[in-house]
Amino acid sequence: MSSPNAESTAFRSALEVIRAVEPRVADAIAAELADQRESLKLIASENYASPATLLAMGNWFSDKYAEGTVGRRFYAGCQNVDTIEALAAEHARELFGAAHAYVQPHSGIDANLVAFWAVLADRVEAPALKRAQARQVNDLTEADWFALRRELGNQRMLGMSLDAGGHLTHGFRPNISGKMFDQRSYGTDPATGLIDYDKVAEAAREFKPLILVAGYSAYPRKVNFRIMREIADSVGATFMVDMAHFAGLVAGKVFTGDFDPVPHAHIVTTTTHKSLRGPRGGMVLCQPELAEQVDRGCPMVLGGPLPHVMAAKAVALAEARRPDFADYAQRIVANAQALAEGLLRRGATLVTGGTDNHLAIIDVTSYGLTGRQAEQALLDAGIVTNRNSVPQDPNGAWYTSGIRIGTPALTTRGLGTAEMDTIAELIHTVLSQTRPGANADGTPSKAKYALDAAVADKVSRQASELLTGFPLYPTVDLT
């Protein structure tokens, strides 16, 4: 275990070296730490990585090209990269009970693209090549390749709709996944906001997707992955789970049995930050039959892996295997539920009426606001959130009708259920005191709002006072 003095020395020394070259960068880094220390961070997808994880990214691995996989590189001199990549994969397998782990993806979307193409290669490309010609691939005609490309681009994906809590990378048009696949969405029950598994099964039978995707970025409940796998099997689909948001709850054994995706899915993707509390990056876990295709992520989808980030992944995954991480994961959910209950007691409307995980969605139309108005008003008061769609959102994906709040970051700082009730009061105060604004022509605006500066200042000071008892990176002193 490092000493506080060692961590302070490490970061102060790093800033001193940077400042000698470009002082504005050093100043911005120091300012970011100061801003994060003062922010009541409720963005569900953000967290605080440990000093060890952060320091693991600033080293000589950044200078190394390492295309390929462990023991099979296209560049010489990768023996040390092999060590850290193998360590990260080992920790991932042990942590999640996975048969195979691929730790090279640079982000969540990269992990999803690796998964999509691994499935396409396994389910479509290889059989199509065999049908096209029994001879060597190099002998295929342009007509053969044209037919193959058409078949690869004509596959179907079924995933959760955006307004129900799904993610852009699950087949939606603005994202490359929506250009790769013919996509259809399943939503949630209009009355409860919960997944209706019978409706998902009905959609799967009708649409017959190649890939059934589960996972979310804004669904505040557990998903029964056993039932979803049964649905996938019933139509011959590959079952993929994107657990980027709740990977820490899986790692910490909050989600087990039917709610742990790893035993049920053919392939699982995740980010390594968010609730997992590691560096920004991605990862793919899969069953043995997909391992060979997944390991072709570079060069199939990825450029050169980032060895310095893989080193940080190895550190963070090692941290997540410690017993205290399971306690942390439990506290994330306890805090989210306390925050949700505090809001409900004060009259707020929550999608699904509460939460089972790390996040909750406030329907701010009950306050007469759009999500954009609420997001900015809360920011004025020192509370950092993000606007989010609600099911069947009348305001669309830009203005939205909801605010997404999450507890991983504040739980890392040590805040507990009592503090969550205080935060619920602060949020309610801001939202109840905010009024929608009007455009210059007098028509209602979905963006403009009015919040008394005195209210914003008072809430901001209360938020700062609350955080003084829970210092961020207390072992790091830059002065």
**Catalytic residue set:** 65, 67, 242, 271, 274, 280
Please tell me the number of Cα atoms within 13 Å of 119 on its side-chain side. 30
Residue in this structure with the two tokens 């799967």, named with its chain if needed = 204
Please give the Cα distance from 411 to 417 (Å, whole number).
Answer: 10
The answer to whether residues 428 and 349 touch, using CB atoms and an 8 Å cutoff, is no
Angle at CA 48, nearest 5°, toward 47 and 52?
Answer: 140
358 CB burial (10 A radius; 0-12, 13-18, 19+): buried
The answer to whether residues 244 and 359 touch, using CB atoms and an 8 Å cutoff, is no
Measured over the CA atoms of residue 167, residue 158, residue 177 and residue 109, the dihedral's sign is positive
Quick check: helix, strand or coil at residue 216? coil
223 phi, psi to nearest 5 deg = -115, 135
Please give the Cα distance from 395 to 377 (Å, whole number).
Answer: 18
Quick check: helix, strand or coil at residue 163? coil
Please give the Cα distance from 320 to 322 (Å, whole number).
Answer: 5
267 phi, psi to nearest 5 deg = -150, 140
Torsion, Cα 436 441 443 446, to 10 degrees, reads: -50
Q: Whose CA is closest to 283, among 292, 293, 275, 294? A: 294
360 phi, psi to nearest 5 deg = -140, 155
* DSSP letter string, 413-442: TT--HHHHHHHHHHHHHHHHH-EEEE-TTS
Tokens describing residue 462: 């209360």
β-bridge mates for residue 68, sequence order = 73
408 phi, psi to nearest 5 deg = -55, -45
H-assigned helices in 121-264: 126-132, 142-152, 176-180, 197-207, 225-234, 247-251
β-bridge mates for residue 212, sequence order = 158, 239
Crossing angle of helices 225-234 and 197-207, in 10° steps, is 20
Quick check: helix, strand or coil at residue 211? strand
β-bridge mates for residue 185, sequence order = 159
Chain-centroid distance, C-alpha 252:
16
